[in-house]
Chains A and B, each alone.
Chain A
Amino acid sequence: MADNQRERELAMITQEFNYSRPGSLAEALKLIADGGKPLAGGMSLVPMMKLRLAVPEHLVDLGRIADLATITEDGGKIRIGAMVTYYAIESSPLLAAKCPLMVTAVHQIGDVQVRNVGTIGGSIAHADPAADWPASLLALEAIVHIQSAGGTRDVPMEEFLVDTFTTALEPGELLAAISVNADPAGAGSSYQKLVQPASGFAIVGAAAHVVRGGGTVTKCRIGITGVSGSAFRAKEAEAAIEAGKTPAEAVKGIASGVDANSDIHASAEYRKAMAEVYARRALESALA
């Protein structure tokens, strides 16, 4: 009783909820199929629970499922489990060597404490419109691996992101991993971000990934986050770069077709203008 009382006093003031910490993916999928809410780091979910904005009845902590927390390479594809922490990405020699954009991007997310606990799967499934990851994952043409009690399916990142806080995940489904291609020869990349000074979120974040060969850019991918309801690929600018245009030329009007958001930190107009600036900088850096 005394210990219990002590814990209650020290704890945050959420509503009451059930808590499971399954040891296997199969067990987790069953709990999620029954309506459990996955806890994958809790960097967004837990603050909302403290404010009672989120009141999940059943939390399914994925922290003990070892299979979800590995980074593996297989035939040029790098698979990153949903529960891989930002710190693990930041310190991965494999990613530093073969997909440096992941490492560049993760340095710019949150702070040390957040990076120690936050997971890539948790962030992507949450789909905050100002999250950093989507820009880089779009530029890398990442594939999202989804599992449910009924089986597995793969969805390209571009289709996975549907809208503000809305993804292609159906009830009962779990984001299990993402995979990205190892960089080919001649690859270059960069993530450039305008930081919201209070939260550290991206007001605008732009990721560029290019492949050069024979003196030209053979492939260019640009992902932009923070501007609108969800991150997007800047396909016209990609094509312009591939057609030999300079970054400054390519980024003109890069967000012109987007329904940009306004808030107390930045107007829609500023976000659109900054999308051009940061996309240009990301391209210049990727091509440097």
Chain B
Amino acid sequence: MATTTVAKTEKLVGKRIRRREDPRLITGTATYVDDIKLPGMLHAMIVRSPYGAARIKGIDTSAASKLPGVTAVYVGKDVVDVGPVPCGASLPGLKVPHHHILAQDRVYFVGHPVAVVIASDKYIAKDAADLVEIDYEPLPAVTDPEKAMTAGAPAVHPEWPDNLAFTYHQDGGDADKAFAEADVVVKQRITSQRLIPTAMECRGVVADYSTGDKALTIYSSTQIPHLLRTLLALMLSQPENKLRVVAPEVGGGFGSKLNVYAEEALMGWAAMRIGKPVKWIESRRENYMCTIHGRGHVDYYEIAAKKDGTILGLKVKIIQDLGAYHQLLTPAIPTLSVLMLPGLYKFQNVKAEIAGVFTNAVPTDAYRGAGRPEATHGIERIVDMLAVELKMDPVEIRTKNFIGNDEFPFKTATGLEYDSGNYALPLKKAMEIIDYAGARREQAEARKQGRLVGIGISTYGEICAFGPSPATPAGGWESALVEVDPTGKVTVYTGSCHHGQGEETTFAQIAADELGVSIEDVVVGRGDTSRIPYGIGTFGSRGTAVGGPALYYALQQLKEKIKKFGAMMLDSPEVEFANGECVCTKSGKTVGLGAIAGASYRAMKLPAGETPGLSVTYFWEPPNFAFPFGAHIAITEVDRDTGHVSVKRYVCVDDCGNIINPLLVDGQVHGGVAQGLGQALYEHAIYDDNGQLLSGELMDYAVPRSTMMPWVESSHTVTPSPVNPLGVKGVGEAGTIGCSPAVVNSVVDALSTLGVKHLDMPLTSEKIWRTINGSAN
């Protein structure tokens, strides 16, 4: 059989290769959910609550139903039997409100879906949605989690008047003893404000029901097609083997599409009911109101230390703003903050408490970093405050408390086992790049001139590559399927579901290297449950770190099989497979992968005990998380007149283990820093006391633009992870986690000459101006 497979010898892993997916993305030829057009497809528009809390006294759909072109109008009672929107997290005593896909007799947040109109086009659907008359009795709402915890606050769910969904305690060591023995204790309330993930592509769903074979296909902009399939099967009582989920091109998620949403079930239900395809495309305004938010922490930190700067222990009370419901992982997110609390430091005494609080707002859930940025921000702030208290340099206090290189594996006070690390190294490298001593001298000069210049450091650790299955709600492994066609072309299917991370390039690099073929001969497929073995998805910096090893092991098995076929075809047991061909080490005769593949499918003859075809599926269970780390340093200057913060330099040194493609790693770091900087300086999802989202559009919610970004000087150290054969860790969230404390520490440092010890994010110009002018907040 003819083959066009090109053998190659050049290794691609480690090279700066441009993303193969980009040409279609930047030429508008990719297929997103909204590009899917099916014959007879109907369009859905959802009528949503304009109130943060209200009783629904009545719904009149008659005018909407009568509008020509309207197929159906459904309200809460129509879908009462559809299973609730699932919460995958379990905590002792967790209160789980029944989350109907359409509101029943009450609405709990602005944007809560109340009715759905299905019509022949979007215009008619929108016109009809405007005709649905809903009689609301507005009720008092509460959006501030601390207010929600006070006696007499409005109850979000009347059955739980204290608004407390759960409390959680975790102790490691003996924090009380550590605090009793401390020379110094520093306390601070530190917040991480609510943020809106703002993926470039909003959500969208197309549901297609085949009445003939009673099979449902859901196209959804999701990070987790298989988990979505399982959970939708349960919600809709549709056999899972007659439910297919496709995630076509997905324009970003940042965790916001690591979820199962009411609309996904609602469109599936409507398509099954009507027997025609139904499409729903989320507007940006809906995206801001109804897709999960992130962060939402009010935390009370206390740190205990000796005079010499040795940290003895940490006590933290976390108040998590949950919103009105639990989405897939809502209550689990702050528990990740607790896990992360020791950071890179060796202290062994931690006392942590979480109060998960209901509010009349859209639920919070995983947003880039998911619990770890909040913890890193808190610990890196409080360590800086401790340094100020002890009159130590922030570098010195960190270096003094780092876990030493000889202490790995290191058991943390929160029960993790850090397997490897060299924490001082990235800090040292970042200090060299930025010329730390020189920067301090320049700062001293600037201060003499009355300028407000600050230098801020954060040294972060991260738990990523989620994760060992016992530590995750849904299994933490990943799958890979590698097929070589009869013509020798290679297809890699991954159960992870990249949506902008670039695995179409990096996984092809890995496969091309292992099989010795050109990257052009490798296709990476993902996102279709009908083609791909069950997988978990892409989130928690796991795509490469868990999906990558699954692929690697699949490739090793495949190579063994290739060698067996090669030995048979070369008629010699002395065969090696390299550079896309099997070579007989004795005769020097070769046979290429294409010929081997062809023979394996033709199967005229098979190696002893072998099966036909070249296809291997591998499920890999990681033995542990991976633990990246790094150091970020920001130099900022504050405009004394206006309070405006400018970031003068931004240096980050991240250690994500071995690097498959430095270009993509830099891209991940830059994007992560942009989102961390967004939190530090600009972004804030603001609800008023009645539950109205005031930052409801990009006009009022400040996502940083390219012109607002500093030049990010990104560099790396490489400490390979011992948990997987690729030595990779994960870098999707690192930039976000490292950034916000570096920037805030820098601005606090700039203002320290005015006696400023702490500032909460976002550091808006007015907030800084008020601080300078002595009327803080």
Contacts and interface: CB of A to CB of B under 8 A. Distances in A.
B166 interface: no
Interface residues of A, number: 22
Contacts, number: 53
Given A15-B127, A51-B285, A273 B769 contact: yes
Contacts of B136: none
B126 interface: yes
Interface string B738-777: 0000000000000000000000000011100110000000
A45 B274 CA distance: 37
A273 B773 CA distance: 11
Contact of B700 (A16, A265, A270, A277): A265
Interface stretch (A162-170, A177-185, A191-199): A191-199
B37 A9 contact: yes
Given A199-B700, A264-B700, A8 B122 contact: yes
B642 A274 contact: yes
Interface residues of B, number: 30
A131 B531 CA distance: 53
B121 A266 contact: no
A70 B283 CA distance: 37
B678 to A, nearest CB: 10
Contacts of B708: 197
Given A13-B122, A267-B766, A198 B698 contact: yes
A264 B694 contact: yes
A113 interface: no
Interface string A202-223: 0000000000000000000000
Contacts of A264: 686, 694-695, 700
Interface string A239-276: 00000000000000000000000001111001001100
Contacts of B123: 8, 11, 13, 16
Contacts of A51: 285
A56 to B, nearest CB: 16
Contacts of B770: 270
Interface string A1-27: 000010011010101100000000000
Contacts of A11: 123
Given A52-B130, A197-B702, A198-B701, A277 B642 contact: yes
Instruction: Enumerate the 9 nearest inter-chain pairs by beta-carbon distance, A residue then B residue, closest first.
Output: A198-B702, A197-B702, A199-B699, A270-B766, A277-B641, A13-B126, A197-B682, A8-B121, A264-B694
Given A9-B121, A198-B701, A265-B766, 13 more contacts: A5-B121, A16-B123, A194-B642, A197-B681, A197-B704, A198-B703, A199-B698, A199-B700, A264-B686, A264-B694, A270-B769, A274-B642, A277-B641
Interface of B: 37, 121-123, 126-127, 130, 283, 285, 641-642, 644, 681-682, 686, 694-695, 698-704, 708, 764-766, 769-770
Interface of A: 5, 8-9, 11, 13, 15-16, 51-52, 194, 196-199, 264-267, 270, 273-274, 277
27 contacts: A8-B121, A8-B122, A9-B121, A9-B122, A13-B122, A13-B126, A13-B283, A51-B285, A52-B130, A194-B642, A197-B682, A197-B702, A198-B695, A198-B698, A198-B699, A198-B700, A198-B702, A199-B698, A264-B686, A264-B695, A264-B700, A265-B766, A266-B766, A270-B769, A273-B769, A274-B642, A277-B642
